[in-house]
Structure 1
Amino acid sequence: MTLNSSQDPVIKRQKLETSSSSPKKKELIVNFFIQSSLTSQSSGLWSFPGDKSRNYKKLSYWTDLAKKAEDNGINSIFIADVLGPYDQYKGPGNFEVGVKAGTQHPGIEPSIPISAMAAVTKSLGFGITFSTISEHPYLFARRLSSLDHFTDGRVGWNIVSSYLQSASSNLLNGAKLADKPTRYKMTDEYVQVVNELLLSSFRKDSILVDEDSKTYADPKLVRRIDFDGEYYTVPGPAYTEPSPQGIPVLFQAGQSPSGLELAAKHAEVVFMNGADTQLVKSRVAKLKEIAVKRYNRDPENLKVIYFAFVIVAETEEKAWEKYENYAAHADPEGALALVGGWTGIDFSIYDDDVDLTQVENVSHRELVKNFSKKIYKPGQPINKKQFAKFVSVKGSADLIIGSVEDVIEQLIEKVEVLGIDGFNFAPVTVPESYDDIIEYILPKLKERGYFSGKYKVPGGTLRENLHGKKGQNFFPEDHPNFNYRWTDGTREEFTTKLAHHKEFLRKQGDLDLGTEVFHDLAYKDRP
């Protein structure tokens, strides 16, 4: 059999090497990041004059943002979510600091506003975070497919396995979260169940809507999936009929060894985070290496989006003035509650005047340096108050700050050095941060040829606009999940074919996530 360029692993490796050594100018994917709660990562800044994030409970808050995003050619609005309070600071179990500051708690269920946002837009996509511990995959598959129907195929699923014990306690009958490798193995199986329910239950042409014979769906073209795994037993078939994309676009944000393995197998869009340029660059390269070597994927079909806060003004001095103004309204203790939830580190154990860059615990001091890169100079002490102030504005994301030209240069450098495909811009305040991106950043990116402000497929699905190809509603052919879709043949024929494909995937990648697979790839994770 002769392979075309999209199937040939040698050509794919050549593409990987070319893209990492001599990146070319590309049109960027630009997303707006928002949380399904009072704030995203800027602690306490709901109190900033003019901030409207306290209106997160009103549909107009979401529909206004959707219309603004589409008017300016934003690819999608990415809605983050957590399922419990941050309770590690002054803890464990103490949620009072986080609740007082409104640090991602309380919040709403993130899929609720989506239909309303879709109703006032035509091309804007929506990425929504759903944890695999939040509900059974059979029920979740119905939710996901319903969203794809009601948005005309403009939705994506950000696959997460949760990290807060407060969420686990409420959702798993008081049980603790499994260790990370186990969580990712469970998540991998969860995604497999959703894949089979949405893609393998109904043959592509099973919906007839034949009034004469009173046949809505041909029952011979509907099958049970009879999934019997280590963690889930789901007979099927799915409750919902095939949606415009078959399955929504798959997003993933894990950056640990297990997370990169899962992303290389399933994700179409991967979110990267962190101010350490070399670390992020190595993660991007490793992600694509795994995708190519283990799953024979085309690295150009795996999009990487960088998480960033932007504070921009006419001059660098004014930008730092803006930062100081934000910091004056922020809640530093709320920020430490967030850090505790993200990392499990309770910084209340340190006195206010202790230099956190010199503490005995290596992971603690390295985390402080990494989170504080924009203000930290080697040898400079950072006490808890200084650390909390900085994190209270920019959270865990990279802070890109300066004049318009300086910020543009920083963004372009990220694209060229890291090999990323776009940005997930998070707000310090709402809507001011989005308005600054629209006023200052997007016009300059257009001038440089990195952003058109137009949808490549107006009125198209999220996947069509992600790849810029009309008709690309389903996974590209090189995606490991492509063969889950029942397109032709009898039940028996497809069941046999699918069993062979699942066995192939098992041999390719279903090792102990985070261990064996990374020995031969020489991956080294860092704090």
Structure 2
Amino acid sequence: MTSNNSESPITKRQKLDSSSSNSKKKDLIINFFIQSCLTSQPSALWSFPGDKSRNYNKLSYWTDIAQKAEENGINSIFIADVLGPYDVYKGPGNYETGVKAGTQHPGIDPSIPISAMASVTKNLGFGITFSTISEHPYLFARRLSSLDHFTDGRVGWNIVSGYLHSASVNLLNGVKLPEKAKRYEKTDEYVQVVNELLLSSFRTDSILVDEKTKTYADPKLVRRIDFEGEHYTVPGPSYTEPSPQGIPVLFLAGQSTPGLELAAKHAEVIFMNGSEPKGLKRKVDRFKEIAVKRYNRNPDNLKVLSLALVIVDETKEKAWEKYENYAKHADPEGALALISGWTGIDFSVYDDEVDLTTIPNAQHREIVTSFCKKILKEGVPITKKQFARHCSVKGSADLVIGSVEDVIEELITWVDESGIDGFNFAPVTIPGSYDDLIKYVLPRLKERGYFSGEYKVPGGTYRENLYGKKGQNYFPEDHPDFNYRWTSGTREEFAIKLAKHKELLQKQGKIDLNSEYADDLIYKSR
């Protein structure tokens, strides 16, 4: 942890002043966003000529994408995941519209193709979404560590607490998904269990592989964690030995107060979206300020990514022609199923020709205008029919559309004005959208000095390449979870040290419900 006598992180960032943080160009983190199913954001565009996403259940589909990504210096493949159908639209419980369109359903386990993808690459990272309601943390810790071993340390865990009722009733014995604050509270404990299993069970020098004494691991350097919490009781020790990173890079998507609190404590990378750069900047600054004030974290070590969907061509007109062609092949009703599931709003209650920008419900209006900013014109209605058509192409991602220069200028504006560190680029079609990024966008970002296209630590771990520092396989010292790792001392000595650290984290993590952070942001968090 940062010493009290050293320069504080908030001083380093000059109290989060945007002018200082944006005074130099960033080498952006660029990820290919994908989902372990047919499509992630668009609706039914698996039907588009040349799209290959219907092969999501074939291993070659994944290895081809991985090789394409690494050949072009992409930082990682980020794989989103859900665990149930979207059943809010025309619901509750009606999943037929989404299933018909293949709206993020059916899908596969996103961890299965990872080893194969790693076998055909040397530098590419893999960010994988795993829900904390999907399996017991003892079993999940084994899965996570195994992936880190088989990729030589190129794995990240996107921590989600779930947001679909259709998943929770199947995973929680018919019980509804708990309210948001309770979910994040349980998720915090889940992460603590995984931390202790993977970092506190084996001392870092416990694996001896001594052939003479037939000693693989020194039993005195392996300990039970004896975790007893409100939700989990896990004696341990971990079933797996320490992996290259100890624990994979931690991601989190959260924009509500509980989500920001959890990210401030655990995340190295957080995903955020906003309707415009200045609004996104407020969220970025708020997140970093919570992390700095509560946990004394270095804001330079906190990476923020935004989800963007790019439609680009040589001219603006050609780009919009592409958009129209995509819209012709998409399924607007499938998009409504998706948006209804994301937001919890059943949009079937509105007639097709109703102007959604004038409906009485302010939250519904806010969502519509946020999703439709590229086609929104003052005084011009946005009917439900138009809303559905637009979302059938872009989903919930920020749409960036136009000529090469239009797109580059917009992306750079987002970076410079909001303070984000890069993008998860969602595809409209696969591999078409990735090919357009490679052809049009990445070369210009390189020319402008915003993307090197090079791995900072060739052959390194995900964390080494994330921070650009050889040997940075484990958390930076300012990370709140840094002291979970057992590096020295006896079992008894480490147990005392760990107990003190956990007590400190608990005190730091206490939320004052009357604080400036106690109010929720507008956008619903997963």
TM-score normalized by the length of structure 1: 0.97
What's the % identity of the aligned pairs?
Answer: 77
Match of 1:58 in 2: 58
Shift of 1:510: 3.9
Match of 2:224 in 1: 224
Match of 1:84 in 2: 84
Give the whole-Å Cα distance in 1 for the aligned partners of 2:2 and 2:88: 56
Shift of 1:4: 8.8
Distance 1:59 1:234, change over 3 A: same
Q: How does 1:435-450 map to 2 (within 5 A)?
A: 435-450=435-450
Give the whole-Å Cα distance in 2 for the aligned partners of 1:400 and 1:84: 29
Distance 1:73 1:217, change over 3 A: same
Q: Which amino acid aligns with 2:94?
A: N
Match of 2:286 in 1: 286
Does structure 1 residue 238 correspond to structure 2 residue 234?
A: no
Shift of 1:362: 1.4
1:20-52 deviations in Å (ceiling 9; x for gaps) = 664421100100000000111100100000000
1:339-359 deviations in Å (ceiling 9; x for gaps) = 111011111111111111111
1:319-369 deviations in Å (ceiling 9; x for gaps) = 011100001100000000001110111111111111111112111111111
Shift of 1:280: 1.6
Contact residue 313 and residue 403 of structure 1 kept, 8 A: yes
SS in 2 for 1:16: coil
Contact residue 275 and residue 397 of structure 1 kept, 8 A: no
Q: Which amino acid aligns with 1:303?
A: K
Give the whole-Å Cα distance in 1 for the aligned partners of 2:290 and 2:115: 36
Q: How does 1:322-471 map to 2 (within 5 A)?
A: 322-471=322-471
Match of 2:521 in 1: 525
SS in 2 for 1:307: strand
Contact residue 169 and residue 175 of structure 2 kept, 8 A: yes
* Deviation larger for 397-406 or 271-280: 271-280
Distance 1:2 1:471, change over 3 A: closer
Q: Which amino acid aligns with 1:430?
A: I
Contact residue 257 and residue 518 of structure 1 kept, 8 A: no
1:84-141 deviations in Å (ceiling 9; x for gaps) = 0000111110000000000000000000000000000000000000000000000000
Does structure 1 residue 198 correspond to structure 2 residue 194?
A: no
Shift of 1:72: 0.4
Shift of 1:277: 2.9
Give the whole-Å Cα distance in 2 for the aligned partners of 1:3 and 1:266: 19
SS in 1 for 2:488: coil
Does structure 1 residue 125 correspond to structure 2 residue 121?
A: no
Give the whole-Å Cα distance in 1 for the aligned partners of 2:335 and 2:98: 8
Match of 2:493 in 1: 493
Aligned residues: 523
Give the whole-Å Cα distance in 2 for the aligned partners of 1:16 and 1:285: 6
Shift of 1:491: 0.5
Q: Which amino acid aligns with 2:522?
A: R
SS in 1 for 2:16: helix
Distance 1:344 1:222, change over 3 A: same
Q: Which amino acid aligns with 1:147?
A: L
Give the whole-Å Cα distance in 2 for the aligned partners of 1:2 and 1:328: 55
SS in 2 for 1:246: coil
SS in 1 for 2:327: helix
1:153-211 deviations in Å (ceiling 9; x for gaps) = 00000000010000001000000000000000000110000000000000000000001
Contact residue 274 and residue 396 of structure 1 kept, 8 A: no
SS in 1 for 2:308: strand
Give the whole-Å Cα distance in 1 for the aligned partners of 2:318 and 2:370: 25
Give the whole-Å Cα distance in 2 for the aligned partners of 1:176 and 1:103: 22
Contact residue 306 and residue 420 of structure 2 kept, 8 A: yes
Distance 1:437 1:484, change over 3 A: same
SS in 1 for 2:288: helix
Give the whole-Å Cα distance in 2 for the aligned partners of 1:279 and 1:178: 29
* Deviation larger for 333-342 or 7-16: 7-16
Give the whole-Å Cα distance in 1 for the aligned partners of 2:482 and 2:270: 18
SS in 2 for 1:14: coil
Give the whole-Å Cα distance in 1 for the aligned partners of 2:6 and 2:455: 25
SS in 1 for 2:254: coil
Q: Which amino acid aligns with 2:521?
A: D
SS in 1 for 2:30: strand
TM-score normalized by the length of structure 2: 0.97
Give the whole-Å Cα distance in 2 for the aligned partners of 1:468 and 1:4: 26
Match of 1:97 in 2: 97
Contact residue 31 and residue 77 of structure 1 kept, 8 A: yes
Q: Which amino acid aligns with 2:185?
A: K
Q: Which runs of 5+ in 2 are unaligned?
A: none
Q: Which amino acid aligns with 1:291?
A: A
Q: Which amino acid aligns with 1:84?
A: G
1:56-104 deviations in Å (ceiling 9; x for gaps) = 0100000000000000000000000000000011111000000000000
